[in-house]
């Protein structure tokens, strides 16, 4: 028999040393870094779309982030520093999330078989999230490498050059849907995971996923439009 208790059901074995607080901290950290990154992405993409309002708008945004409004001159290191912060968040988030990935081939085979057999939206979405997360290791690395090493290459004209002449459009075309799906599904998952608001039933979850897809599509349209604008500028200019 296991360490069963006496008749009042009180456990008789003295418990091992108190359980660590780390699982709680790490779980919160994974959620928080994810949420911060998603929030950053949401703002980032909105700001990127400034180009839709013309090159002045894009330049204004670039200058704002280079600190010209505060210092009177551009300080691209601010952009680099911000990028480094984001990179740190990404690394932490990825390291925490890796704990949930399949660890061995057995895990992978079990899970992929499960996803196929169960035919269940939430389970399939998680699989996508894991897959997009994996892809983001490389995509984010590539993107941030550029930002950190060429912090001054923002604003309407430098961005146009990067997108068109350096071929970054191809990267963005893949990056955009991947990061959007990952972030949106992630935020949806956070709401379910922490029950904010509580998930009442399956219909409720369906409605929430609908909202999620609407957000994804809206951002996709916005992002693609911005990208097209840069491409248009580059090709015509």
- Site for another protein, rule CB under 8 A: 1-2, 4-11, 15, 18-21, 23-28, 99-100, 102-103, 107, 110-111, 113-115, 117-120, 122-123, 126, 189, 192-196, 198-202, 205
CB of 120 to another protein, least distance (A): 5
Closer residue to another protein in complex, CB, 68/189: 189
**How far does Cα 26 stand from its chain's mean position?**
17
CB of 107 to another protein, least distance (A): 4
CB of 121 to another protein, least distance (A): 9
CB of 125 to another protein, least distance (A): 8
Closer residue to another protein in complex, CB, 55/123: 123
CB of 215 to another protein, least distance (A): 19
CB of 26 to another protein, least distance (A): 8
Query: Burial level of 32, CB count in 10 A (0-12/13-18/19+)?
Result: middle
Closer residue to another protein in complex, CB, 15/235: 15
String of DSSP letters for the chain: --S---TT----SPPPSPPPSHHHHHHHHHHHHHHHHHHHHHHHHHHHGGGGG-HHHHHHHHHHHTTHHHHSS--THHHHHHHHHHHHHHHHHHHHHHTTS--SHHHHHHHHHHHHHH--HHHHHHHHHHHHHHHHHHHHHHHHHHHHH-TT--SHHHHHHHHHTS-HHHHHHHHHHHHHHHHHHHHHHHHHHHTSS---SHHHHHHHHHHHHHHHHHHHHHHHHHHHHHHHHHHH-
Closer residue to another protein in complex, CB, 16/235: 16
């Amino acid at each position: 028999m296991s360490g069963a208790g006496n008749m009042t059901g009180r456990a008789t074995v003295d418990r091992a040393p108190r359980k660590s607080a780390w699982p709680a901290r790490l779980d919160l950290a994974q959620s928080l870094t994810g949420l911060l990154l998603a929030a950053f992405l949401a703002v980032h993409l909105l700001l990127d779309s400034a180009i839709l309002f013309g090159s002045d708008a894009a330049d204004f945004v670039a200058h704002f982030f280079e600190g010209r409004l505060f210092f009177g001159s551009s300080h691209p290191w601010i952009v680099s520093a911000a990028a480094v912060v984001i990179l740190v968040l990404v690394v932490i988030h990825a390291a925490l999330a890796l704990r949930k990935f399949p660890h061995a081939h057995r895990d992978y085979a079990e899970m992929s078989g499960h996803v196929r057999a169960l035919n269940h939206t939430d389970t399939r979405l998680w699989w996508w999230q894991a897959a997009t997360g994996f892809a983001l290791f490389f995509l984010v690395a590539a993107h941030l490498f550029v930002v950190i090493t060429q912090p001054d290459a923002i604003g309407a004209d430098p961005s146009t050059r990067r997108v068109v002449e350096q071929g970054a459009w191809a990267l963005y075309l893949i990056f955009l849907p991947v990061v959007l799906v990952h972030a949106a599904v992630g935020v949806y998952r956070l709401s379910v995971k922490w029950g904010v608001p509580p998930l009442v039933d399956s219909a409720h979850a369906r409605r929430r996923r609908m909202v999620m897809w609407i957000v994804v599509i809206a951002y996709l349209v916005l992002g693609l439009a911005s990208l097209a604008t840069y491409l248009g500028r580059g090709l015509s200019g």
